[in-house]
Structure 1
Amino acid sequence: MIAGGSAPSTRERNPERSRERILDAALKEFAAHGYAGARVEAIATRAGLNKQLISHHFGGKRGLYESVMQERRLKGGGELQGATAQVPETLAMFFDRARTDPEWVRVLLWEALEEPEPDAHLPALGERRSRYADRVAWIEAEQGAGRLPADLDPTLLLLTLLGAALYPVLLPDVCEVMTGSRPDDEAFAARYREHLARVAGHLADPAAG
């Protein structure tokens, strides 16, 4: 039973809407409990639908998880899409996307903590590699334009910059211990955005151009 006392529906007047409801509910469940702890019944209850529809649309829990990782993480900014601005603006954008998308952050942390199933693979691994390859190409373009040091490995530099942008969000307790503020505090967020922009400005290669 769900809130209000009505049973989850097995009827689908709008299959696409049902699929979207399941994905929204699954993101919340996976963020709260990780893949191993999430329950299909709980996802169905959150969606207000019968759990049979999860098998119908996604083939089961694993297929649903992979769809969440591919679709919902991207919808909310997960995987940090859209690195089209110059470095200072983009680092601030990465920080803001992470701090305003706590469910994605929790899913990301669960992915790092959980042991993968023996027959499991990272969801849409090829697509994720392609997206990160695009970001490495963006770093290379910024290096070519003189806005990042040209003598640094672009892939490792991307990891470094993402780490700088995301660390306070991934470890908010450490952030609070060190600064007295949490990343969801607006005053801290403004201060950290300015800091990221200044760090990126100091990385500009003065010899270029």
Structure 2
Amino acid sequence: MRIGKLLLYTFIRRILVLVERKKLAKEYSLPEDDLSWEQVDPDLKKWICAACAVNRQVFHMDVHELGGFVPGSRLGKFVIRDMMMLAWDIYSRRDLIETIQDMIDDKLAWQLLRVLQLAGSGYVAGYLTLRESLNVSIVAGQRLQKVTRSWEGLANAYARDYANYMDCESGGEDRRKAFQKLRNAKDTPYTVPFDMALVKSW
């Protein structure tokens, strides 16, 4: 009986939050963006995807696509929005932007990598334009290059900090194994140098 009431309360709360966030969403409507992938340096996309590859691998997403899904994927949009609600309490473009702004100045590899992950996920979810997602990714990526020096160093820092901050050693181990699997894969995402220049090509 108590479980039933708790589930009902949770469901009603989510509905009310969604209604309220929908009212606020107009303040943060998605701007027009004419940037296409043809204008973006392919190596920049590869670098961003490589940085987020361990996370995408753990969640069985496409490690070679920004945000883990092909552009325009309706399934991806649904999955990512649901994950953002459950894991981040992000219900709108406004929530996502505020979350990124709160984290972007951090100097921990763990937090900067999560900004990169959110930027890609935000694009898939339809909360960020491609231009916005890449702009955030470049800034976070440049800062990430200052706090660690290699793909292996990034993976180790991510696994360690995940285990510490999430109090989940098994989660950290899953990420270490994911990196080893990706590094040895025939289609490894780590084909671009970690220290490559991250710049706009548009």
Bigger-Rg structure (1/2): 1
Same fold, judged at TM 0.5 (above): no
TM-score (norm 1): 0.30
TM-score (norm 2): 0.31
